[in-house]
Amino acid sequence: MDFYFIPDTCALAVHIACHEANIPLQLREIERSPTGLRIKSTTALPSDYMSLNPKQKVPAIGLPNGSILTETQAILQYIAWELAPAAQNGDLLPKSGLERWRAVELLNFITTEIHKAFSPLFNPDMSSKHRERAIKDLGRAFTILQDTLGEKEFLNGQEISVIDCYAWTLLSWTRFFDDVDLAEWPSLPSLIPEWYAVLDDI
């Protein structure tokens, strides 16, 4: 399966999820250029990413029918409900009942409250006032996430799920900022072993 990614982005969540499900990937690194994103190549000229994915975002994966699936949440759910069972590697999300919708609820929370709050922090022109507010928003979200984790090993229980893959990826972004610290939320860094970070360098 073709996997389009940029290192140090939310695409890492998809990489981790595929690793957990033993889904082989054909890595297609995307690089930034003056004309937009392009597919990096060591054997040929870089190819245009816009024609493949007009959204010009990562991650993206290639589907069996030749089309492209985008958006982190959609890809993670596709992996959990379509690819992982086919690989006979267990469930990376509950399949039915209230547990399924609680899992979707938590994925949405991570997207709207953590991912969204982190994104403007990468803007060097962000005002100090807006930055302070974004960091406070992150803190509130971190508290909810830690309360959700409680005494469990993983966010959705005792088994890893794509929720953990996504949460850990975003939490790992704290390493980019001196003013965002997880010290107040000591349970969060332990969600997924640190060795997953090596996937972001592949």
pLDDT in tens, 6-27: 999 999 999 999 998 889 999 9
Q: Which two tokens stand for residue 39?
A: 């597919």
Query: Which stretches in the chain have pLDDT values below 70?
Result: 42-46, 86-90, 192-202
- 63: number of CA atoms within 13 Å, CB side? 12
The two beta strands, 26-33 and 2-5, are parallel
Q: What pLDDT is stored for residue 199 in this prediction? A: 67
Q: What pLDDT is stored for residue 53 in this prediction? A: 92
Q: What pLDDT is stored for residue 195 in this prediction? A: 62
pTM: 0.91
Helix ranges (H only) for 65-112 are: 72-78, 84-86, 97-109
Q: What pLDDT is stored for residue 201 in this prediction? A: 56
Q: What pLDDT is stored for residue 77 in this prediction? A: 95
Mean pLDDT, the chain, rounded, equals: 89
Strands lying side by side in the sheet with 60-62:
47-48, 36-39, 26-33, 2-5, 60-62, 68-70
With H, G, I as helix, E, B as strand and everything else as coil, classify residue 5.
strand
With H, G, I as helix, E, B as strand and everything else as coil, classify residue 13.
helix
